[in-house]
């Protein structure tokens, strides 16, 4: 009997749930909202946002679900199975322009609702694995993320910058954050790339219970990647963010975006944008990442992706854009 992968089962089940939840309802009143892994930053934030919208906007139902993250979220939106979601600027740019993982399947109906915060690349390695630089990951057991996920896309970009032929030069474990924690605890992997906002629950677990430590991206590599991929920003993970982290860690980050399909009603997106930005104190209860969000940065570093017309209306009212 042919073995069916867990990833395929998960994706099929999520697609079924999202389609089922929309049956018998008008899309304008019922929006499917895939978020990310339930051990990352986005899942609790997305759940809190959905609850806020459902409570504050009449006749609107937003259905938040866990997902594999940015790439899957964009695929679900492109296929009409989701309507609003999260992804980082680089992946949205690739989808909008039909590049890399979206080659020959351009998604030019994706629109930005808000630029949220910087999402750093966090490379966590076991302290006894003999890894002092990302270059040392060559030949090691490494979890780059689930296939097609945002961390896996980042691994495809960052590891080759260190001369590591991806994926041939590493022993890969394509697992999500939760599985990576257990594998690191059991010394079945030497490291993992986690791409999520600070602080990230998975990184906290790895540093507190799995002998994990953060390593950064060297200045020359950061410079090289920023020149090649203009959506990157430099970011410092402050000392003390995680257990045992005594020094700042320098890395690269990408803006996390709230996005929607262009077909979602303009007035619905206008109301959702307004309610989101005017209730940040309520959302702070879900995750401290909300403290990093600033209205004036909602329309910056968008990688050239257009705003949704509904969101644009709100930002015009706030004096952030003139067009």
Tokens 């946002």 belong to residue: 49
Of the candidates 142, 196, 189, 131, the residue with the CA atom closest to the CA atom of residue 165:
142
Share of the chain above pLDDT 70, in %: 91
Handedness of CA 243, 244, 246, 252 (dihedral sign): negative
Of the candidates 203, 194, 288, the residue with the CA atom closest to the CA atom of residue 242:
203
Tokens 């950061």 belong to residue: 222
The string of pLDDT tens digits covering residues 296-319 is 999 998 989 999 999 999 999 999
Which range, of 30-44, 128-142, 166-180, averages the lowest pLDDT? 30-44
Each residue of 42-63: b (16+ CB within 10 Å) or e?
A: bbbbbbbbbebbeebbeebebb
Cα separation, 133 vs 216, whole angstroms: 7
Contact, 270 vs 315, CB < 8 A? no
Helix 266-277 vs helix 42-56: angle between axes, to the nearest 10 degrees? 110
Mean pLDDT confidence for 138-150: 93
9 pLDDT band, cuts 50/70/90, is very low
Contact, 114 vs 257, CB < 8 A? yes
Q: How many CA atoms lie within 13 A of 193 on its CB side?
A: 31
The verdict on whether omega for the bond into residue 134 sits within 30 degrees of 0, i.e. cis, is no
Contact, 196 vs 42, CB < 8 A? yes
The string of pLDDT tens digits covering residues 209-249 is 999 999 999 999 999 999 999 889 999 999 999 999 999 99
Whole-model pTM over 0.85: no
Mean pLDDT confidence for 45-56: 97
Q: What is the mean pLDDT of the chain?
A: 91
Handedness of CA 144, 149, 151, 157 (dihedral sign): positive
3-state secondary structure string, 117-170?
Answer: EEEEEEEEEECCCCCCCHHHHCCCEEECCCCCCHHHHHHHHHHHHCCCCCCCCC
Q: How many residues does the chain have?
A: 323
Give the per-residue pLDDT at 38: 82
The string of pLDDT tens digits covering residues 90-103 is 999 999 999 988 99
Distances (CA, A) of 183 to 11, 60, 177, 198, 302: 22, 41, 10, 22, 35
DSSP 259: E
Give the per-residue pLDDT at 41: 82
- Which stretches does DSSP call E strand in 144-248? 171-172, 191-195, 212-215, 232-237
The string of pLDDT tens digits covering residues 107-143 is 999 999 999 999 899 999 999 999 999 999 999 999 9
Give the per-residue pLDDT at 19: 47
Cα separation, 309 vs 323, whole angstroms: 11
Cα separation, 157 vs 312, whole angstroms: 32
Give the per-residue pLDDT at 165: 98
């Amino acid at each position: 009997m042919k073995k069916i992968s867990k990833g395929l089962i998960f994706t099929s089940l999520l697609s079924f749930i999202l389609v089922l939840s929309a049956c018998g309802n008008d899309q304008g009143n019922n929006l499917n909202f895939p978020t990310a892994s339930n051990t990352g930053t986005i899942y609790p934030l997305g759940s809190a946002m959905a609850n806020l919208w459902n409570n504050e906007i009449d006749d609107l139902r937003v259905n938040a679900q866990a997902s594999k993250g940015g790439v899957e979220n964009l695929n679900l939106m492109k296929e009409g199975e989701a309507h609003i979601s999260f992804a980082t600027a680089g992946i949205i740019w690739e989808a909008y322009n039909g590049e890399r993982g979206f080659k020959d399947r351009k998604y030019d109906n994706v629109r930005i609702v808000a630029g949220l915060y910087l999402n750093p690349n966090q490379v966590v390695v076991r302290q006894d694995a003999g890894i002092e630089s990302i270059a040392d990951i060559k030949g090691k057991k490494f979890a780059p993320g689930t296939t097609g996920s945002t961390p896996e896309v980042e691994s495809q970009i960052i590891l080759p910058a260190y001369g590591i032929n991806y994926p041939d030069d590493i022993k890969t474990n394509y697992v999500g954050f939760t599985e990576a924690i257990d594998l690191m605890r059991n010394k079945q992997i030497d490291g993992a790339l986690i791409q999520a906002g600070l602080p990230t629950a998975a990184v906290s677990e790895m540093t507190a219970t799995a002998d994990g430590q953060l390593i950064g991206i060297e200045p020359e590599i950061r410079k090289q990647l920023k020149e090649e991929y203009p959506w990157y920003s430099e970011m410092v993970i402050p000392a003390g963010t995680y257990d045992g982290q005594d020094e700042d860690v320098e890395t690269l980050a990408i803006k996390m975006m709230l996005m929607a399909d262009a077909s979602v009603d303009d007035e619905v997106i206008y109301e959702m944008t307004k309610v989101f930005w005017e209730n940040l104190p309520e959302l702070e209860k879900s995750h401290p990442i909300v403290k990093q969000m600033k209205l004036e940065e909602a329309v910056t570093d968008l990688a050239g992706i257009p705003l949704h017309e509904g969101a644009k209306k709100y930002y015009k009212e706030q004096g952030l854009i003139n067009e």
